[in-house]
Structure 1
Amino acid sequence: MGITVQNITGNTAMVIWPKMASCADSFYSIMYHPNWNSMLSSYSRKSFQKEERVPTSRSSFVVENLTPLTTYIVCVTCQSANPSSDQCRVFNTLEQDPASASNTKKELALGIWVTSSVLLLIIAAILLYGCLHLLCRRRRERQQGRNEASKQEHGTALTKSMEHGSEELGRQNQLMQDTEEKHSGGIQLATIIKNPSACKEPIVPASKSQERAPMTGQCSAIN
């Protein structure tokens, strides 16, 4: 069939094959397997570890994620048929390129840094949310305490005002009673002064054996 493997590196290899007329209405299957041993392995599809499907419009494919310094077998078949020996090639991957290894390490370090940054941002957001929630709760508690203190002060002031009003009302009532008593006494006195004859009682003649004593009557009682 004329399969060739080119541009082999430690992790990749390009597989090239001629177009087959029998695959015009289907696809190509690229199968490969590491650590190939022709004495112990067969060409059945179950013997291959990985398989890729490629459209019939293509005649090459780059196999990736290979292991450095490893023997591989790669086969190209039409659709899902079992490969034959002339449809396969064995190749060895090279030692890993130092530049590629450095890039892999950089990518790994970058991935670790990005993951750590995301975790730190999440933790910071959680802590900030907790602090804001605690601050708001304390502010509400302080506001409630101020409101309660204001209500207590208002109630105390209202109570004092009511007590003061009661005292004033009592004083006014007492003053009115004193005024009424004085006014009533003045009326009685004025009545007595106006009618002085009311205080005089008729003199009753007494016998000679009895002493004549003045009868003061109500005037003496009033005096």
Structure 2
Amino acid sequence: MGIIVQNITGNTAMVIWPKMASCADSFYSVMYHPNWNNMLSSYSRKSFQKEERVPTSRSSFVVENLTPLTTYIVCVTCQSANPSSDQCRVFNTLEQDPASASNTKKELALGIWLTSSVLLLIIAAILLYGCLHLLCRRRRERLQGQNGTSEQDHRKVWTKSTAHVSQEFSSQGQLTQDIEEKHPGGIQLATIIENPSACKEPVMLTSKSLERVPTTEQCSAIN
């Protein structure tokens, strides 16, 4: 079985093999391992570091993530069988490709940039939330202060109105007292007339004044 290894770089290599009739209904196993000099010569399947399964429709495979300046052995078998010497090939990887190294650095820098951007976005979101929370709190406190001032104003107005009403009642009471002091007979007469128990007799009206004057016989209690 002729296995060919080509397009070798510091990290990749392409393995090509002829199709096998016995693998028509199965798959190919591509096994490879670094430092071939340290492997046992028994070609045991368990001795290989990596193993890839390839569909029977393909007859080539690109081995990736290799170490530069390293000796590798690669074997291709049918359906995970233990390989033989004619199913394997030894090759050496090249130095690190400058373009690959540059791409690796770019990918690393891009990953760092993305991570930093995500962290900055998270920090900005936290700061924005804190500012909005603080603004809402200050606005709530301001509204509460305005409501408290309005309540105090209402209380002052109500107190002034109550004091004014009380003052009016006091004035009326003083005026009534003054009238009683000036006209004691008139107040007594009105009280006697309005009290039905004081006089039960009818009231006589004079023709001159048409005033309600009790007769001598009506109320003896007046004297």
State the TM-score bracket (shorter-chain normalisation): 0.7 to 0.9
Give the corresponding residue for 1:194: none
Give the corresponding residue for 2:195: none
Q: Deviation of residue 184 (structure 1)?
A: 3.6
Q: Deviation of residue 177 (structure 1)?
A: 3.0
Give the corresponding residue for 1:143: 143
Structure 1 residue runs of 4 or more that deviate by more than 2 Å after TM superposition: 38-42, 176-188
Give the corresponding residue for 1:94: 94
2: CA distance, partners of 1:187 / 1:138: 66
1: CA distance, partners of 2:92 / 2:117: 40
Give the corresponding residue for 2:82: 82
- 1:129-160 Cα distance to aligned partner (Å, 9 max, x none): 11111111121112112212221221122122
Give the corresponding residue for 1:157: 157
Q: Deviation of residue 176 (structure 1)?
A: 2.8
2: CA distance, partners of 1:5 / 1:72: 11
Give the corresponding residue for 1:18: 18
The 1:88–1:187 alpha-carbon spacing in structure 2 relative to 1, beyond 3 Å, is: closer
In structure 2, stretches of 5+ residues that fail to align are 189-223
Q: Is the 8 A contact 1:2 1:87 kept in 2?
A: yes
In structure 1, stretches of 5+ residues that fail to align are 189-223
**Does residue 118 of the first structure (1) align with residue 133 of the second (2)?**
no
Return 149-158 or 129-138, whichever deviates more. 149-158
SS at match of 2:37: coil
| Sequence identity (%) | 87
Corresponding pairs, count: 188
Q: Is the 8 A contact 2:28 2:76 kept in 1?
A: yes
Q: Deviation of residue 186 (structure 1)?
A: 6.1
Q: Report the structure number with the largest CA radius of gyration.
A: 1
Give the corresponding residue for 1:106: 106
- 1:114-137 Cα distance to aligned partner (Å, 9 max, x none): 111111111111111111111111
1: CA distance, partners of 2:187 / 2:19: 145
Q: Deviation of residue 179 (structure 1)?
A: 2.9
Q: TM-score normalized by structure 1? A: 0.78
